[in-house]
Structure 1
Amino acid sequence: MEINPLDAIEATESAPKAAKLSWLNPAVAITVALLATFMGICKVKDDNIVQAMQQAQADKVDHWAFFQARNIREEIAKSTLVQLRLQALTVPEQHQAAYQAQISVYESLAKDQAQKKEELKVLAEKDQTTYDALNFHDDQFDLSDALIAIAISLLAVASLTQLGWLYALSLVPSAFGVLMGLSGLAGWRIHPDALIRLLS
């Protein structure tokens, strides 16, 4: 068996490089494990937020539907009230009391429906406010997921290519992804509006 001296030289030259980057694969593995764990925690919170958003949206639709129903009832009561008042002008004196009693009933009904309609409007607007507040945090978690996914992709390439600078580069989206995830978990008001609008 012949030994090629060039092979020995190449092996000797590549040995320091391999030893120098021996930290890379363990660092990538630990970083990916930490990011995946953090993503899992954020996913649980984000799913709960999405469920709350769906509930707020359903409540808003229900309240606006009831608002419209109350509005229709109010309009019908007002229309009936107008008819009763006009008819009261033409009926004999002995029937006036009955007409006045019905007029009072429909005045009270119209007033009641108007009041309940305004209460429903306030509830529907509150539902929209709740939805917007939840959506703010949902955006934070979405951005966190995207940034951490980019970081994990860069980490995979860094591990394959054994490029230390690529590992360092992957820490940038990792840091921003963790920041956005922590913002969603802790309720911080960090929200890159321009980026969110671009991705929406």
Structure 2
Amino acid sequence: MDLDPEELIENARQAIERPEASSPPQSRLNVSVALTVALLATFMGICKIKDDNINQAMQQAQADKIDHWAFYQARNAREEVAKATLTQLKLQALGAPESAAEGYRDAITRYETLAAEQSRKKDELRQQAEADGKRYDALNYRDDQFDLSDALLAIAIAMLAVTALTQLWWLYAAALVPTAFGVVMGLAGLGGWPLHPDMVVQLLS
């Protein structure tokens, strides 16, 4: 959900442009609505910059995880081939003449080293892929916070727009409820706070 902060500020400015005959209470309400929308638009702009950076980091983490698992499978295949060759060499060495024994021992040593090396590198790739997955989950956690903040603040701005039309103070007060929750979730995303309403996120995902 992408909202243009400049468009929101322009809408707020237009909302307070009333005829000169408007009463002072209406003017105060319009000013309150305009200031609230302007502040929310600024806050949403800051959150959007951070959220975009997080989305880019998520894409990189996902790509890294896929690459590491692909290399893991390649290392695993090499290890299996080395082990199969090693088994074959050991069986052949049993019936080989003494003159060929040293050659078989050298080949067996090489393939034992190769299999061990592939196993070690495969384990390193597994650890890297799992770390990539954890990094993606941590970034997605913060992305959910920004998404929820964006949704709540969009609801608040919609309510503020209706407030400017109806001139109802109680509606302005009601709009401050999603405003408060939206700002809190945005600050949680910016500050990395452990605030994550799982039930709401699962409902919206």
Q: Would you say same fold, with TM above 0.5?
A: yes
The partner residue of 1:142 within 128, 140, 147 is 147
**Where in structure 2 are the equivalents of 1:1-200 lying within 5 Å?**
18-200=23-205
Q: Tell me the matched-pair count.
A: 184
How far apart in 1 are the matches of 2:45 and 2:61?
24
State the match for 1:11 in structure 2. none
Tell me which amino acid in the other structure corresponds to 2:110. Answer: V
State the match for 1:9 in structure 2. none
How far apart in 2 are the matches of 1:38 and 1:186?
14
TM-score, length-scaled by structure 1: 0.90
CA drift at 1:21: 2.8
What are the Cα deviations for residues 150-178 of structure 1, in whole angstroms up to 9, with x where unaligned?
A: 00000000001111111111000001000
CA drift at 1:19: 3.3
How far apart in 2 are the matches of 1:29 and 1:20?
14
CA drift at 1:91: 1.4
CA drift at 1:90: 1.7
**Identity of matched residues, %:** 66
* SS of residue matched to 1:22: helix
What are the Cα deviations for residues 79-136 of structure 1, in whole angstroms up to 9, with x where unaligned?
A: 0001111111121110010011000000000000001100110100000110111111
How far apart in 1 are the matches of 2:58 and 2:104?
49
CA drift at 1:50: 0.5
How far apart in 1 are the matches of 2:179 and 2:37?
10
TM-score, length-scaled by structure 2: 0.88
Runs of 4+ in 1 over 6 A off after TM superposition: none
* SS of residue matched to 2:195: coil
Structure 1 or 2, whichever has the larger Rg, is: 1
Q: Give unpaired runs (5+ residues) of structure 1.
A: 1-16
How far apart in 1 are the matches of 2:60 and 2:188?
23
CA drift at 1:20: 2.8
Q: Give unpaired runs (5+ residues) of structure 2.
A: 1-21
What are the Cα deviations for residues 11-43 of structure 1, in whole angstroms up to 9, with x where unaligned?
A: xxxxxx943332111111111010000000000
